[in-house]
Structure 1
Amino acid sequence: MTAKRRIHATAIYCFDCVRRLGSIREASRSLNMATSAVSRQIQKLEDDLDIQLFERSTNGLTLTSAGESFARHAQIVLKDADRLYSEIDAIKGIQKGHIELATVEGPSIELIPRIVKHFTTRFPNITVGIHVIGSAKMPELIINGEVDVGLAFDIENLRNLNQLWVKRYALGAVVAPDHPLAHKSQVSLQECTTYPLILSKKGLSIHTHLSHFINRIEVSHQIIETNSVGLSRKLALSGMGVAFQTIIGIEEDLAKQTLCHIPITRPSIINSELGVYVRSNRILPVAADYFVRDLIDELNQATGSITPGDAFSATLSS
Structure 2
Amino acid sequence: MKQTLRVHNAAIHYFDMVRRCGSIREAARRLNVASSAVSRQIIKLEDEIQAPLFERLPSGLRLTTAGEIFARHVMVVMQDTERTRSELGALRGLRSGHVRLAIVEGLISDLMPTVIERMRERYPNISTDIAILGSQQIPEALAKGQADLGVAFSLKRHADLRQLAIAHFELGAIMRPDHPLARHTELNLVTCSQYPMILPTPELSLYQLVAPLFSGQERPTNGVARVSSVELAKQMAKRGVGIAFQTRIGILEELEKETLAFVPVRLGGPIYSDLGVYARNGRFLPVAADAYARALNEEIIARGQGDRRQW
* TM-score using structure 2 length: 0.90
Contact 1:171 1:264 in 2 (8 A): yes
Percent sequence identity is: 43
User: Judging changes above 3 Å, is the alpha-carbon distance between structure 1 residues 180 and 213 closer, same or farther for their aligned structure 2 residues?
Assistant: same
- Partner residue in 2 for 1:45: 45
Deviation at residue 66 of structure 1 after TM alignment: 2.6
Distance 1:296 1:220 in 2: 40
Partner SS, residue 291 of structure 2: helix
Deviation at residue 103 of structure 1 after TM alignment: 1.2
User: Judging changes above 3 Å, is the alpha-carbon distance between structure 1 residues 29 and 132 closer, same or farther for their aligned structure 2 residues?
Assistant: closer
- Partner residue in 1 for 2:16: 16
Distance 2:221 2:33 in 1: 62
User: Judging changes above 3 Å, is the alpha-carbon distance between structure 1 residues 268 and 64 closer, same or farther for their aligned structure 2 residues?
Assistant: same
Contact 1:154 1:272 in 2 (8 A): yes
Distance 1:35 1:78 in 2: 22
Deviation at residue 92 of structure 1 after TM alignment: 1.9
Deviation at residue 291 of structure 1 after TM alignment: 1.1
- Partner residue in 1 for 2:253: 252
Query: Would you say 1:274 and 2:275 are equivalent positions?
Result: yes
Partner SS, residue 25 of structure 2: helix
Distance 1:159 1:145 in 2: 15
Contact 1:187 1:264 in 2 (8 A): yes
Deviation at residue 196 of structure 1 after TM alignment: 0.3
After superposition, give the CA deviation of every residue in 1:294-314 in whole Å (9 maximum; x if it has no partner).
11122233443344444xxxx
Distance 1:57 1:163 in 2: 38
- The number of residues matched between the two structures is 303
- Partner residue in 2 for 1:177: 177
- Partner residue in 2 for 1:227: 228
Bigger mean CA offset, 210-219 vs 265-274: 210-219
Bigger mean CA offset, 76-85 vs 246-255: 76-85
- Partner residue in 1 for 2:97: 97
- Partner residue in 2 for 1:133: 133
The Cα RMSD (Å) is 1.9
Deviation at residue 241 of structure 1 after TM alignment: 0.6
- Partner residue in 1 for 2:163: 163
Partner SS, residue 109 of structure 1: coil
Partner SS, residue 145 of structure 1: coil
Bigger mean CA offset, 14-23 vs 80-89: 14-23
- Partner residue in 1 for 2:4: none
User: Judging changes above 3 Å, is the alpha-carbon distance between structure 1 residues 94 and 175 closer, same or farther for their aligned structure 2 residues?
Assistant: same
After superposition, give the CA deviation of every residue in 1:65-85 in whole Å (9 maximum; x if it has no partner).
332333333223212111111
- Partner residue in 2 for 1:109: 109
Query: Would you say 1:147 and 2:147 are equivalent positions?
Result: yes
Q: Which runs of 5+ in 1 are unaligned?
A: 1-7, 311-318
Amino acid at match of 1:199: L
Deviation at residue 176 of structure 1 after TM alignment: 0.6
Amino acid at match of 2:228: N
Alignment of 1:195-214 (within 5 A): 195-214=195-214
Q: Which runs of 5+ in 2 are unaligned?
A: 1-7
- Partner residue in 2 for 1:82: 82
Deviation at residue 94 of structure 1 after TM alignment: 2.0
Query: Would you say 1:288 and 2:297 are equivalent positions?
Result: no
Deviation at residue 17 of structure 1 after TM alignment: 1.4
After superposition, give the CA deviation of every residue in 1:134-163 in whole Å (9 maximum; x if it has no partner).
111121212222211111111112233221
Deviation at residue 229 of structure 1 after TM alignment: 0.6
